[in-house]
Amino acid sequence: MPAIVWGGLALTLVAGLCSGNSMLPMKFAHRWQWENTWLIFSLFSLVIIPWTLAIMLAGNLRGIYCSLLPGQLLLPFILGAAWGVAQVLFGLSIARLGQALGFAIIISLGSLGGTLVPLLFKNRAVFATSNGALILSGLAVMLAGIVLSARAGSRREQEAKKETGSGYALALALAVLCGLLAPMINYSFVFGQEIAARAVQLGISPIRAAYTVWPVSLAGGLLPNLAYCFYLLSKKKTWGLFLGPWMPDAGFAVLMAVLWMGALAIYGVASVCLGALGTSVGWGLTQILAIMSANIGGLLAGEWTAAPASARRTLYAGLALLTAATVLLAAGNR
């Protein structure tokens, strides 16, 4: 493989590490409630950081955006808004189903859809090749690894609630809907490539041009997140927490934003380096590495110390399958 492709694979590793650990700082926020932290996180991750990166690296955003047709901006914006709804549903699903089952459903559907849909619309011919067979095999192994990792997590969660009835069915439906909407952020990037292409025409390098898509995509995602935060802040009367000291909780929220948006920005560059299949294979690799990073981080932090030996063995098997899926997807991108 060319050196630039190896560079793209290395960048997906970094993106996965950042993504898998992006929510970790929230554990250290004590005074603020979830909605306070999430509001600051949303403002930095969806507005301040992407616009700053785009202005620094791409320059004349006004000239780029004004030279495009409204529809070329509207589609990535709408897809980004759909992803914003998924962000809200994610929190609701995890609260009702627990982390293990919720992650299994949402990440499985999100990874599968985020990898296959760009292939179907942009590179359908690859399915008839050996590369396509490797990618599909990698996806199958990835789903098996996610299921095993989720099963290990469910065994660890000894105090998990066992809901039944209509409430549980509704929670499952929310998780499925969230999983279907979760890869919309990748679709927004894929179908927003006309923005990047226009930037290239105006003299910006392809790697830097990738940053011009995110301000439009994430502006759509901002609206549902703001609406949900405002709803919770008003319902729980937690606006007043902003009147007290902001540190260190605000610092943790900003660190979350840096890690999360950093992962997305690095993935965008990696997708360019990986070539024609970058927005499919790169997405799948980033998701796999994020899951692996989160689980390995949990092991190092002692979260699995009290777990049954069978749960740890299941987790190790899941991580082994995810490693194999990484190799298969990387080989399919050659």
pLDDT above 50: residue 277: yes
Per-residue pLDDT reduced to its tens digit, 33-88: 888 998 999 999 999 999 999 999 887 888 899 899 888 899 999 999 998 888 88
Place of tokens 């690799």: 285
- State the pLDDT at residue 160: 41
Q: Does the pTM exceed 0.85?
A: no
Per-residue pLDDT reduced to its tens digit, 148-184: 877 777 676 653 444 444 455 676 777 778 888 888 8
Place of tokens 């777990």: 307
* Host domain of residue 38: 3-238+245-332
Domain count for the chain, please give it. Answer: 1
